[in-house]
Amino acid sequence: MTQAPAPPKVARRRHDREIIALAVPAFGALVAEPLFVLADSAIVGHLGTAQLAGLGVASALLTTAVSIFVFLAYATTAAVARRVGAGDLQAAIRQGMDGIWLALLLGAAVIAVVLPTAPALVDLFGASDTAAPYAVTYLRISSLGIPAMLVVLASTGVLRGLQDTKTPLYVAIGGFVANGVLNIGLVYGADLGIAGSAWGTVIAQCAMAAVYLFVVVRGAKRHGASLRPDAAGIRACAQAGAPLLVRTLSLRAILMIATAVAARLGDSDVAAHQIVLSLWSLLAFALDAIAIAGQAIIGRYLGANDPEGARAVCRRMVQWGVVSGVVLGLLVVLARPVFIPLFTSDGSVQDAALPALVVIALAQPICGIVFVLDGVLMGAGDGRYLAWAMIVTLAAFTPVALLVPTLGGGLTALWGAMTLMMAVRMLTLWLRSRSGHWIVTGATR
């Protein structure tokens, strides 16, 4: 006998509970991650300006290297969630193990590239003669922790797919505390300087990876899933992640172009751009938490052969995205007079940042829709469309952004171009969500 569908209000409450249960811990974990760099900066900053500058260059390189492989989390979440929805936990964890093995292989490859090329990479980022030696030291030591960082990404994807975002939150908090204690002890207690900061971060990341592996391996043994590397499974993970890699690279290109254009506008504008970009990134964490919930929930519904449930939760998450965007936009407008002085007392920088912040405040409802639909399509495993959509967005944004210095308007015009970029993303994602082509049910796409 077919079970009658739940009344709309009951269904919405159920979806709301699912979204909140996954999104709130995910937000905490997302916010905890950048605190690693902030803690390192606070500790190393007391060693001297050259050391802090070296840390800044090395951290930018490391962040770029790791963020490129964020597909390890996204693709794994979607694949694992589908198998959870299909009721096959053994296959779900087996899929997760394939992602972890791929993370280890990619991490080893990155180490092989970074260790010999560290001086050239630091020079490419324009480090000064005094900062470069510190940057090379930090980069070489920290690169040894990249396999652990990628294992953390893949393992986080496994747990999200299993509908668990609390464990990643606890691990992130523990890692942040351990990183701070180790940095203080090694930098000052052991007098290792910036090398101590790098080793502290490596140890903390390895400890986080070890905790994740313990959790995943325990689940694998409980459900009888093999822990051995499977070439076909690893290859499938790489193929699923390749389109998301293209998406991520295109997004990174957009951010790099925006910073390059801001630099051409003058020192005040580029300084204000960094302030605005930092707030934009913080707001993105809040919206990305809903997207992460979307990845896990949509994948589960599709794996359970419930297309109507997937459509319903998609609609509800879009509503969450719009409301969250409106609330965040209002907070930005209200917090402007307090937020900007935290970063600078320079009147010209403040004057450039204030109107740009109004632009990003107005853009937040658009951002809310974009992040949610991005998560929905990731959860559906629709990576190929996401890659093409981001390439289209990059092509639309680039000429508009490059014209800003010529046409005038300064930083406000540049962030108007960024808002246009988000509007193009919203259009491409909305068209895909309306088409229904992303709805492919079953344990695999």
The token pair that represents 425 in the structure block: 């993303």
For residue 6, the model assigns a pLDDT of: 60
Output the 3-class SS for 292-328.
HHHHHHHHHHHHCCCHHHHHHHHHHHHHHHHHHHHHH
pTM above 0.85, yes or no: yes
| Strand, helix or coil for residue 151 | helix
Q: How large is the average pLDDT for residues 117-125?
A: 90
Kindly tell me the sign of the dihedral angle through the C-alpha atoms of 421, 422, 426, 428.
positive
Measured between alpha carbons, how far is 180 from 39 in angstroms, rounded to an integer?
A: 6
Show Cβ contacts of residue 369 under 8 Å, excluding neighbours closer than 6 positions: 318, 321, 322, 325, 426, 429, 430
Measured between alpha carbons, how far is 12 from 323 in angstroms, rounded to an integer?
A: 15
More confident residue, 395 or 15: 395
For residue 191, the model assigns a pLDDT of: 94
Give one word for 442, left, alpha or beta, with left for phi > 0 and alpha for psi -120 to 50.
left
Q: How large is the average pLDDT for residues 81-86?
A: 96
The token pair that represents 252 in the structure block: 């990174």
pLDDT tens digits, residue range 95-108?
A: 999 999 999 999 99
pLDDT band at 398 (very low <50, low <70, confident <90, very high): very high
Measured between alpha carbons, how far is 105 from 110 in angstroms, rounded to an integer?
A: 9
Contact (Cβ atoms closer than 8 angstroms) between residue 322 and residue 365? yes
More confident residue, 35 or 136: 136
pLDDT band at 369 (very low <50, low <70, confident <90, very high): very high
Q: Is the pLDDT of residue 3 over 50?
A: no
pLDDT band at 5 (very low <50, low <70, confident <90, very high): low
| Strand, helix or coil for residue 4 | coil
**Please, is 407 exposed, middle or buried when counting C-beta atoms within 10 Å of its C-beta (0-12, 13-18, 19+)?**
exposed
Q: Is the pLDDT of residue 75 over 90?
A: yes
For residue 7, the model assigns a pLDDT of: 64
Identify which of 12, 21, 287, 334 has the alpha carbon closest to the alpha carbon of residue 160: 21
pLDDT band at 1 (very low <50, low <70, confident <90, very high): very low
What residue spans of 304-409 are helical by DSSP H?
307-339, 347-379, 383-407
Name, of 112-126, 206-220, 336-350, the range with top average pLDDT. 206-220
Q: How large is the average pLDDT for residues 34-59?
A: 83
pLDDT tens digits, residue range 135-174?
A: 999 999 999 999 999 999 999 999 999 999 999 999 999 9
Measured between alpha carbons, how far is 161 from 154 in angstroms, rounded to an integer?
A: 11
